[in-house]
Amino acid sequence: MFIRRSLYTLTILLILCTGRAVGQTQGQSSGQTQGQTSGQPTHSNPWAPMDLGQLPPVASLSDGVWLKGELHMHSRHSNDASNNSIAKIIAFCNTVGIDYLCITDHDNHVGGDVAHNTWADPEFKSDSVLLLYGAEWTTTRGHGNVFSARPYDHQRLYDVRDQRDIVIGAVVKELGVHLSANHPSGKDHFGFSYDMVKSIEVWNSAIWSKNANAMMIWDDMLSSGRKLTGRGGSDAHHGVPDSPDKTAKNTYQRYANYAGTPTTWVFATSRTSQAVVDALTNGRVCVSANPYAPRVEFYADLDQDGKMDMMMGDNAKATGKAVTFHVQLTGKTVPDSSYTVNVVKNGDPFATYRVRGSQPVVEFTDTPVVLGRTYYRIEVEGPPTAYPQVPQSPALAGNMVGLSNPIYFNFDPNF
Ligand SMILES: [Zn+2]
Ligand SMILES: [Zn+2]
């Protein structure tokens, strides 16, 4: 079943990847055939790149607050979790300074009724951690997370889980929730249309190396014109037992993968749940190996005046003039260590820079095309950052420090 679903998704991806090339080939051959008789090509692709006119203005780069959070976590309301009460998770988040949290229990373990389980748990409350309402939508075709600032009718989404995408998409739209693709490659991959989601879990769990295919799928979706936010999620299920006799089969995972491995940072307009969800949707987001690791900030100066005009997640019109890009690591870097900054442009490696931890800043220049889309995103490698509360996690992240979301040019807001 999984193999068949994978082939189905792969076919969709291949169509997305090659659709334009096939169209161009058909257009050319039809033009050539016509050319032999009339000399006039007859095919004009209505989907070809065109001038989009004015794009919505970019939001303020200074009015906001960086918040760090965990977007994929299972409590005792998932029956494959152990020793993981909601109180235990929230207490841990307070200890390590996590600002927001979405507990995403498997909805199928409670017949879709998360409202009377996770959300009704007396422990589901906090004065310090912003709690999002959500669940892991657990279906035959794979998993997705829902993020919402307020309660919504999750039961409706659960009930349509095995319907066609057109039915599910209508429900997602009516509920007004942020649906996100989970662990998009491999077992339980998100086997639905990416037109229904606003973000994708490009970094699942502390083990960075297993996310290569997720990153590839993200680049495919971005390259096909989808403005899709990349985010992280530990997918942790297991907590510390209250006494040795409560030790469970998977308790060992607690020390390798828990809240914050990885950490998803959002630049929110305020310290509210709604602003967190909005930032996840608009893409002002970066992902770090853990809450103590530095985060990647990525800006662009469009008019060479030395002042930054946009940041990751933002979309601007390409003018044909050179753009200066600014990358910085914010937080605790290792001063005498070397960090590698990889720039990805339109899914391909664009440039690699090495910086010292004492001066973790890179600037580079490029000119996005006037007609058609361009995106740039950043991946940073370097020394691991210790996470004493989850001591085995840095070894699993390896040299991966963090990643940015893209800066976009000429992405159609009405796509
Ligand atoms: Zn899952
Ligand atoms: Zn999960």
**pLDDT, tens digit, for every residue of 211-265?**
999 999 999 999 999 999 999 999 999 999 999 999 999 999 999 999 999 999 9
Report pLDDT digits (tens) over 77-125.
999 999 999 999 999 999 999 999 999 999 999 999 999 999 999 999 9
**Overall average pLDDT of the 193-204 stretch:** 98
Distance 45 CA to ligand 1 centre (A): 39
CB 388 within 8 A of CB 261: no
Distance 134 CA to ligand 2 centre (A): 12
What local confidence, expressed as pLDDT, does residue 34 receive? 42
The crossing angle, in degrees rounded to 10, of helices 212-223 and 2-37 is 30
Q: Please provide the average confidence, as pLDDT, over all residues in the chain.
A: 92
What local confidence, expressed as pLDDT, does residue 187 receive? 87
Distance 80 CA to ligand 2 centre (A): 10
E-strand ranges in 283-385 read 285-288, 295-301, 310-311, 315-316, 323-330, 338-345, 348-356, 361-366, 374-381
Distance 89 CA to ligand 1 centre (A): 18
Q: Can you tell me which residue has the tokens 């662009």? A: 300
| Nearest ligand (C-alpha, residue 139) | 1
| Nearest ligand (C-alpha, residue 181) | 1
CB 383 within 8 A of CB 399: yes
Q: Can you tell me which residue has the tokens 């996840």? A: 280
Distance 119 CA to ligand 1 centre (A): 19
Q: Is the pLDDT of residue 381 over 70?
A: yes
Residues surrounding ion ligand 1 at CB below 5 Å: 143, 182
Distance 368 CA to ligand 2 centre (A): 38
Distance 138 CA to ligand 1 centre (A): 7
| 328 CB neighbour count, 10 Å cutoff | 20
Q: Is the pLDDT of residue 31 over 50?
A: no
d(CA 189, CA 182): 7
| 6 CB neighbour count, 10 Å cutoff | 16
| Nearest ligand (C-alpha, residue 234) | 2
Distance 78 CA to ligand 2 centre (A): 9
Among the listed residues 137, 81, 88, the one whose alpha carbon sits nearest the alpha carbon of residue 114: 137
Q: Is the pLDDT of residue 28 over 80?
A: no
Q: Is the pLDDT of residue 5 over 60?
A: no
Distance 270 CA to ligand 1 centre (A): 30
Distance 4 CA to ligand 2 centre (A): 22
Distances (CA, A) of 364 to 253, 265, 286, 309: 41, 24, 19, 15
| Nearest ligand (C-alpha, residue 105) | 2
Non-local (6+) Cβ contacts of 44 within 8 A are none
Distance 228 CA to ligand 2 centre (A): 20
Torsion angle in degrees (nearest 10) through CA of 319, 320, 321, 322: 110
